[in-house]
Amino acid sequence: MPVEPLTPALRRRLVLAARRAVRTSYSPYSKFKVGAAILTDTGRVFTGCNVENASYGLCNCAERTAIFSAVAAGERRLRAVVVYTPTPEATMPCGACRQVINEFGPEAVVLSVCDGQERLETVLPALLPVAFGPQDLGIREQEPRVPRRRRSPA
C-alpha cells in the first residue's frame, strides 16, 4: 500500500508534537533529549520521548515509545515518524528503531528536525534496505488495526 504524501499542515502538526514530546524526556545519563511524533494510517498522532534507565541497556528511544503507544492503542500502520532533538544538527533513528519502524511502517516517511536549520527527510527503505521483516516469517499481510471500542453510554 503506497504511503500518501504528507501535507505541509500534517508536517507542521507532527513537528510541533515532537517538539512538545521532548519536554518529558527522561535522560539523566546521556542528557540527550529526544521527542518523537508518529502519524498512523487512521490519521492519529502519537508522541513519545526517550526513557533511560540506570541499567543502560534498558533505555528506550523516543521513536519506540511513540510507536509502542500507537500499537497499544490498536494502531498497526505508520505513515510518518518525526524525530526532534534540541541540538544544532538533526539525528536519524537508531538501528533498533529502524527495525521497529519497519514492522509497522515499511514505507514510512522519516523526518528529523532540530534547533538548527538542518532537516533530514527520507523513507524507511533508504534507512534499512533489504530489511528482515514479517515477510521472512511467512506473514504477507499487515495485521488489521484493532477497532477502537466505543464508550458505552453512562
Which residues are the active-site residues? 63
Spatial distance between the Cα atoms of 144 and 72, rounded to a whole number of angstroms? 13
- Using the rule CB under 6 A, which residue among 24, 27, 69, 99 binds ligand THU? 27
Is 32 a residue that touches ligand THU (CB under 6 A)?
yes
Q: How far is the CB of 96 from ligand THU (least distance, A)?
A: 9
Specify the DSSP class assigned to residue 136.
G
**How far, in Å, are 9, 40, 56, 75, 154 from residue 151 at the CA level?**
30, 22, 40, 18, 8
Taking the least distance from each CB to ligand THU, the nearer of 6 and 83 is: 83
Q: How far is the CB of 103 from ligand THU (least distance, A)?
A: 16
Spatial distance between the Cα atoms of 25 and 23, rounded to a whole number of angstroms? 6
Taking the least distance from each CB to ligand THU, the nearer of 5 and 116 is: 116
Is 47 a residue that touches ligand THU (CB under 6 A)?
no
Q: Per-residue DSSP letters for 83-118?
A: EEESSSS--PPPHHHHHHHHHH-TT-EEEEEESSS-
Q: How far is the CB of 120 from ligand THU (least distance, A)?
A: 11
Binders of ligand THU among residues 62 to 101 (CB under 6 A) are 62-63, 83, 91, 93-94, 97
Of 4, 35, 36, nearest to 107 (Cα)?
4
Binders of ligand THU among residues 96 to 125 (CB under 6 A) are 97
Taking the least distance from each CB to ligand THU, the nearer of 82 and 83 is: 83
In sequence order, which residues have a C-beta less than 8 Å from that of residue 27 and are 6 or more positions away? 33, 34, 50, 52
Q: What does the binding site for ligand THU look like in residue numbers (CB under 6 A)?
A: 27, 30, 32, 34, 50, 52, 59, 61-63, 83, 91, 93-94, 97
